[in-house]
Structure 1
């Protein structure tokens, strides 16, 4: 009725006005949520569970036991630059894990290209959460390279390798060298000067990790490394085969230049920079030699010292 239209707060229209303070919810609700992610990226989808399970299975898979060494665990190289450098330097690898929807920058493209060129590296996509689990939360930047355990040789393989080539064995043994980069550098020098292999102890010593491979500049692929449980016993076995054991020590009775035996079948023993040769290893040596240093330096890096002695041995053999 006409009189009723004058009542206070009476609604005279069926249309609702804009809600005060809505914050644009109606407008955002009309914008849409973009394209639907693929099935592998949706957490509760069957394909996502399958992809995650495959990545876990590949990460925990262990290669078959290798000749001459104890069973070892695979090593993970993480991060865009480390992975690229490992692939560039020929570090052996079984699988390259790439994070799903990773930013495809130059380093990622180069790493994928190097892995593809090798032809024997598996490429696998994995969710970020799975890569975090595999690397124990390290900053992997979306790239993880799985490096298999190194195939260590038997100590006798090194002398057999030399005799098969009609040469006197030239072997380097390391006592207490814990830096993988030094080990890699020594493997490189051994290869450069015609050596037949390197012997390292299992405990308190560097092994052939990805870092050692990189330092060897690819020479680890052709210069065998043997790992022994007891270095002293291994040296004694070499002595029974007729090899001379020469230990490098700052207080050696002879200089490298004057010891003629270094040009024959020999094992050159290099100690750590700090402690030098261990007592039992030093007592096993037939000779203890020193490097002449007119400049007065107290010691040399283990890798540098090994290179000098190997050069002298190669010079005498020539």
Structure 2
């Protein structure tokens, strides 16, 4: 969790260099690395595997992570300053431009810039108000402070492939998910990771099962864009079957996850939206907001 010294409301205005902003941002960067380092991960880039991607690898992701470090601190400070949504959106657009410059035009973290950026802003607002950070407060703060703007954003036509696929197929877009307070994150991903860690599962196994929990229920626009509705439903069924068979806790769990990965690659499926939810759940765990052991210092 954000340590006690960092969590005291500052008597001077917050900046991106404030201790709590640094702690919140550092947790975001580490959470994105948690997601990258997880392996196997069906269709997604890992430290040793490109998944279903020809245009990116782990080095691309690391360049993106380095380019985004200041963003998460900055948007936390904007949240502490009670900035309006358009200021958060401009900050995210600037971060996306830095990401694309660092990766040579490859989208590695657009979804995470949006999702984890909003969470960092909400955390900043809570800390600046001397309120404890937990999952319920984060969600409530997000909706109370920026909910109306998120609803308006969700009905805007999207120029991005995933958003267009979601609208065409009648799915819940990432913007719509945010306007509802990220239900898949708070109702599925965070509890799955918290409960797995409490049962004593190793961190990688807990994160892998969490990823499959998310794939099983999320309207993942990345999957819909790449595989249509059939590809999305195939991925959801595969994830649900993996968990029904015992997930990572079984002796053949890793082999089954790898087999699902091969099927995803054969179909060119990549659950990028689920990866963003996993990273967000890791962020919650790292700041101690999910009920799991975690501390950012």
Give the TM-score category using the shorter length: under 0.3
TM (normalized to structure 2)? 0.24
Structure with larger Rg: 1
Give the TM-score, by structure 1 length.
0.22
Higher relative contact order (CA 8 A, sep 6+): 2
Structure with greater proportional helix content:
2
